[in-house]
Structure 1
Amino acid sequence: MAGIGTGTGTGIGTGIGMGIGIVGAGISGLTLALRLQQLGVGTTLYCEGDADALRKGRLPATVVRMGHTQARERELGSEHYRDPACLMSTAKLSIKGEPPLEFAATIAEPFHAVDLRLLLPAFMDDYVRRGGELVVSGSAPDAAQVDRWSERHELMVVAAGRRSVSELFPRDAARSPYDRPQRLLAAGLYRGLDLGAVFSYNISGGAGEIFQAPMLTREGIVSAILVEAIPGGPLEPVTRAPGDAVAATLLALLREHAPRLAEGVDAAAFELVGPDDLLQGAVTPTVRGPVAELPSGRVALAVGDAWIVNDPITGQGANLGSRCAWIAAEAIAAGGPYDAAFARATAERMWEAGRPVTEWTNAFLQPPPPHVVNLLVAAAGRQEIADLVLSLFSDPPYAWGLLSSPEEIARIVDGGGRPLYDRV
């Protein structure tokens, strides 16, 4: 059985030829590693830290995984932390106004929120227990390190790595319309707010968005809150507040911009869970070129955040990463040669999944066009449209196909019947 190594590692793995090298142990890298392992393809997973380091680290993100992502995990035999309190069967949307525009819906496939410091180590443990080889590098690899690793493999798949990503995969300007962040972010875990197993989406025009979800963490069930602040707007202070002041700053903003959330706050108990449970910053939405030819003669294929970084406003990052890792695994398992033509063809298949998510997310960073406003207004008055709107998070291809079509929205709003659509 393979296990955990350090440095550059020595084992090659079993399966196809010299196996596949995977850089990064996030959702994408681990999904790819587990799926290839399941399909009989030898892999080595390179990561900065082991499972214990992940468990003890800072909050990396607040991720909500949709039904299709959970279904892939079930197929992998890697279901974990299925506490009913973090499985959201209801979603609510509230848009600030006088009066506010609000509606709720039952989610057919509940959303699931687990602290990645629990979930990713569980996936990593599954991989190692089943014979996977894990190499702990101790630091973020650069392109030269990826090249050295590639000498042991038929193909390198890069799913993470700040230095290697920027060096190997240049920004694709044609698919990256923004050159700066469109939101400033504050993601944190809080005590003192319990709305039950409900996903809450709150919009304050001109200010930004606030998401809340019950999340299973090292401290049990708490509230994960993500603030998406328009730069220069009234929500920005929480993205810069120090940890000891962030809860008070956030509570004041909730009262003004997300009053439905504020109603559920116990002001005396509302606090950040701990100093490692806050993430502040910003991302520039970016699509990179997905293929790099290495000096070794091998090829590197980008997946996950190494390829596409979307703003979290539509909650699709981990879900798209899981989907693209699955596509890549199926292509790899079908056999090589794993050359540049193979990598480009695989990237095009992944882009079929990535394009609607990316275009939908980029569009949502701008004020909604009139036809989308009409859809939201209709949803506030008709339950079948409310059900449709709040199911869109689970079905990005349909979501973008609908939201980019004034004609289709007009048909739904004016048709008087329940819309028909196919889930992915």
Structure 2
Amino acid sequence: MPNIGIIGAGIAGLQLGLLLRRHDVPVTVYTDKTAAQLANGRLLNSVAHHAPTLKRERELGIDFWPVAEYGYSCHHHYVGGPEPMSWRGDFDEWSSAIDYRLYLPKLTETFEERGGRLEIRTLQAEDIEPIADRHDLLVVAAGRGAFAALFPRRPELSPYDGPQRILSVGLYHGITYSEPKGVTISVSPGHGELLEIPMYGRDGFTTALLFENVPGGDLEILGRQSYEADPKAYERLVLDKLAKHHPRTFERVDPARFALTGPLDILQGALTPTVRQDYAKLPNGKFALAIGDVHTVVDPVVGQGANSASHSAWVTGQAILADYGFDELFCQDVAARRADVVLGAANWTNLMIGPPPEHLLRLFGAMYADKAIADEFTNNFDYPDRQWRILATAERTGEFLARRAKA
């Protein structure tokens, strides 16, 4: 029976650990924060889990927030400009969004209850090889600092040298959910996107507003201005920008009730989308395998990061259970098996945060005109490999639309 070490206790590390514990594989997860620190800390993200991720959670026995009760059924789209467009795409299977300050502590607790070992410590670069010596395979699922440096950037899959969006995400009271309940994806051309997400958190059901702001645009200030310096001024700023750029959300806001749910319920920043090498050979001859954020950092604009990480964890776990030869061939096999989904998610996301190509705008127009196309696009949030095969080139998008026109 192999002994596996996992650095990082996000969705990738914990789902991998839980899958391996399901088969009695000894696993140690290394992380720098306790479950209590996460639970009582700042908002981590506003991620949605799509149907394949939720299915994996059911198989692992960690579906603590059943999608029928906590989920949503559709995407509402709005594209502003001189001739605004609105349409809806429905999921065949629902998605959900749970505050990770609930989600990760619960998974950590479950991992330990099922016999997993958790070590709370801050790791440095010099700790990696001694930890690898303790295990047959080291899986790195933490995307910061010394760990990222293990895995060189892949420039052919990393087209951006800096952030393409300045981000601000917060949880807010005072917004009535859309009908039917779903995520609203609003585009203000030249200024950025808004994802309005029905989320379940520490205060029950609330609304996450994820502003994806173009650097230099009118909305960039949402990611720059400090909430803490003047909370009321920041909330007024959000209302003003909603009214100007994202009217479909603003029309459901009660200004008298609108407020951040708490001082820790906002996160601002920026990230550079990056794909890194799948694995690294360590000086001791063993291999470290990258999964999750250390392998692919994606902008959250189409909600793929957590789902990509979950897929990568599942593929890795199945490979570990099938093949105890943790050599370079093993790492290459994992890389090949996850590439379509993980790289599809990265490529699709990178397309969406660049200047919109004509074929993407053509697809938007087709979704506005034909709900069946809108539904297919929405369902492909579950399958980023399929989405990328439609969007990768103008020829592919044209062929897709031609086939649908004949259907």
Q: Shorter-chain-normalised TM-score: which range?
A: over 0.9
* In structure 2, distance between residues paired with 1:369 and 1:156: 41
Residue matched to 2:290? 302
Residue 194 of structure 1 aligns to a residue whose secondary structure is: coil
TM-score calculated relative to the size of structure 1? 0.90
Number of the residue aligned with 1:51: 35
Question: RMSD across aligned C-alpha pairs, in angstroms?
Answer: 1.8
Count of residue pairs the alignment pairs up: 401
Identity %: 38
What is the letter of the counterpart of residue 247 of structure 1?
E
| Paired position in structure 1 for 2:80 | 96
Residue 6 of structure 2 contacts residue 28 of structure 2 at CA under 8 Å; is this kept in 1?
A: yes
Amino acid at match of 2:320: I
Q: Tell me how far 1:204 sits from its aligned partner.
A: 0.7
Decide whether aligned partners of structure 1 residues 295 and 218 sit closer, same or farther in structure 2, where only a CA change above 3 A counts: same
The whole-number CA distance in structure 2 between the counterparts of 1:89 and 1:412 is: 24
After superposition, residues 19-418 of structure 1 pair within 5 angstroms as: 19-82=3-66, 84=68, 86-137=70-121, 139=122, 141-196=123-178, 197-243=181-227, 244=231, 245-414=233-402, 417=405
Measured after TM superposition, the shift of residue 81 of structure 1 is 2.0
Q: 1:216 to 1:177 in 2, by over 3 A?
A: same
Q: Distance in 1 between matches of 2:235 and 2:115?
A: 44
CA contact (8 A) 1:357 1:396 kept: yes
Once the 2 structures are TM-superposed, how far is the Cα of residue 167 of structure 1 from its aligned partner? 2.9
Pairwise CA distance, 1:406: 3.3
Checking the alignment, whether the CA contact within 8 Å between 1:384 and 1:418 is kept in structure 2 is: no
Would the aligned equivalents of 1:186 and 1:226 in 2 still touch at CA under 8 Å? yes
Larger displacement relative to structure 2 (252-261 or 79-88): 79-88
Equivalent-residue separation in structure 2 for 1:87 and 1:333 (angstroms): 32
Deviations 1:134-192 (A, max 9, x none): 1111x3x2221122211210110000052232331222222211111111111111111
Residue by residue over 1:9-47, the C-alpha shift from the partner in whole angstroms, topping out at 9 and shown as x without a partner, is xxxxxxx24x00001110100111011112332111111
In structure 1, what is the Cα distance between the partners aligned to 2:90 and 2:330? 42
CA contact (8 A) 1:85 1:221 kept: no
Taking the aligned partners of 1:186 and 1:205, their CA distance within structure 2 comes to 18
Deviation at 1:294, TM superposition (A): 2.3
Q: Deviations over 1:196-243 (max 9, x none)?
A: 421110001101110011100001111011111111111101001211
User: What letter matches 2:356 in structure 1?
Assistant: P
| Displacement after TM superposition at 1:365 (Å) | 1.3
Q: Distance in 1 between matches of 2:149 and 2:166?
A: 25
Within 1, Cα distance between the matches of 2:278 and 2:234? 38
C-alpha separation between the residues in 2 aligned to 1:296 and 1:359?
Answer: 34
Q: Which moved more, 1:336-345 or 1:112-121?
A: 336-345
How far, CA to CA, are the matches of 1:290 and 1:414 in structure 2? 37
- Structure 1 unmatched runs, 5+: 1-15, 420-424
Q: Distance in 2 between matches of 1:99 and 1:111?
A: 30
Distance in 2 of aligned mates of 1:235 and 1:288 = 30
Equivalent pair of 2:293/2:309 in contact (CA under 8 Å): yes
Alpha carbons 1:31, 1:322 under 8 Å: kept: yes
